[in-house]
């Protein structure tokens, strides 16, 4: 079941913050976040496990509300290198693969 | 750790021809996945192997598609009688059990 991401696109100035949301109608074991640059493969950012803590590295962090089957990715003090399409991949309980949303295109401008 | 590698990176083929893609996963990873991605969409699951066993196939995987992982290491994805709708990026990924899934660089297919 494909998760729903919002917003579909966002434009930020360098230094601004953004939040990307991901929600599923299925019970989830984990949520994975990836960033994809145009023409390249998705690059793993972080994984949020059921019962786990909020994760983060550098200025990118994420949370997972397992009761609501929702996850949010937080980008603070955005940098030009953050530009790309962000995908959440949901790992449904009982499934053996990830279902990906349609992505959120993030553009950071100087 | 050399990451997940895919070959070829780009393939242009005429409609009706067969194509084969190869994937070499990260060496200790026992799970291998194939996804397909078209422009503006997220990756769509095609199939998944645990070692050499193909455990799951998506309904997207028509009978023209076949995937193998004969010795539980590298995998091949073959598309027979290609159609223009098969044009996409084919992504291979691997993981150790249900841990983080790492993607390869992808194989772009253009059917003309």
Separation of alpha carbons A26 and A1, rounded Å: 7
pLDDT at B61: 83
Smallest CA-to-CA distance from B97 within A35, A86, A55, A30 is with: A30
pLDDT at A98: 87
pLDDT at A52: 65
Interface with A, mutate which of B10, B43, B58 (most A CBs under 10 A) = B43
Separation of alpha carbons B66 and B72, rounded Å: 16
State both tokens at A57: 């590295």
Partner B contacted by A84 (CB < 8 A):
no
Separation of alpha carbons A74 and A63, rounded Å: 8
The count of residues in chain B is 112
Cβ-Cβ contacts under 8 Å, A24 against chain B: none
Cβ(B5)–Cβ(B59) below 8 Å: no
Q: Do A32 and B101 touch (CB under 8 A)?
A: yes
pLDDT at A40: 87
Query: Of A97-101, B10-14, B69-73, which one has max mean pLDDT?
Result: B10-14
Q: Is B49 helix (H, G, I), strand (E, B) or coil?
A: strand
**Is the alpha carbon torsion for B48, B54, B59, B61 positive or negative?**
positive
Question: pLDDT per residue over A61-104, tens digit each?
Answer: 999 988 899 999 999 999 999 999 999 999 888 787 889 988 99
- CA of A62, closest CA in chain B: separation in Å? 16
Cβ-Cβ contacts under 8 Å, A41 against chain B: 91, 103-106
Cβ(A17)–Cβ(A108) below 8 Å: no
Question: Which residues neighbour A23 within 8 Å (Cβ) at sequence distance 6 or greater?
Answer: A3, A4, A68, A69, A70, A71
Q: Does B87 have pLDDT greater than 90?
A: yes
In B, minimum Cα distance to A45 occurs at: B100
Look at strands B88-95 and B31-37 and give their pairing.
Answer: antiparallel
pLDDT at A96: 76
Percent of residues, chain B, with pLDDT higher than 90 = 79
Q: Do A102 and B42 touch (CB under 8 A)?
A: yes
Distance from the first to the final alpha carbon of chain A: 37
pLDDT at B72: 85
């Amino acid at each position: 079941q494909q998760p729903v991401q919002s917003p579909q696109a966002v434009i930020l100035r360098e230094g601004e913050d953004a939040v990307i949301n991901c929600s599923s109608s299925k019970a989830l074991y984990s949520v994975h976040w990836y960033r994809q640059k145009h023409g390249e493969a998705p690059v793993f950012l972080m994984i949020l496990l059921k019962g786990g803590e909020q994760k983060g590295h550098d200025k990118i962090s994420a949370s997972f509300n397992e009761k609501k089957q929702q996850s949010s990715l937080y980008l603070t003090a955005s940098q030009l290198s953050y530009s790309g399409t962000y995908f959440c991949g949901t790992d449904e309980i009982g499934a053996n693969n990830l279902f990906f949303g349609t992505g959120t295109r993030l553009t950071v401008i100087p | 750790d050399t990451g997940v590698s895919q070959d070829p990176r780009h393939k242009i083929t005429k409609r009706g021809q067969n194509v084969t893609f190869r994937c070499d996963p990260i060496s200790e990873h026992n799970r291998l996945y194939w996804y397909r991605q078209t422009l503006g969409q997220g990756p769509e699951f095609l199939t998944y192997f645990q070692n050499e066993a193909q455990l799951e196939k998506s309904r997207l995987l028509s009978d023209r598609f076949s995937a193998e992982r004969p010795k539980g290491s590298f995998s091949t994805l073959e598309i027979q009688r290609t159609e223009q709708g098969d044009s996409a990026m084919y992504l291979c990924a691997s993981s150790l059990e249900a841990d983080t899934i790492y993607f390869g660089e992808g194989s772009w297919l253009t059917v003309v």
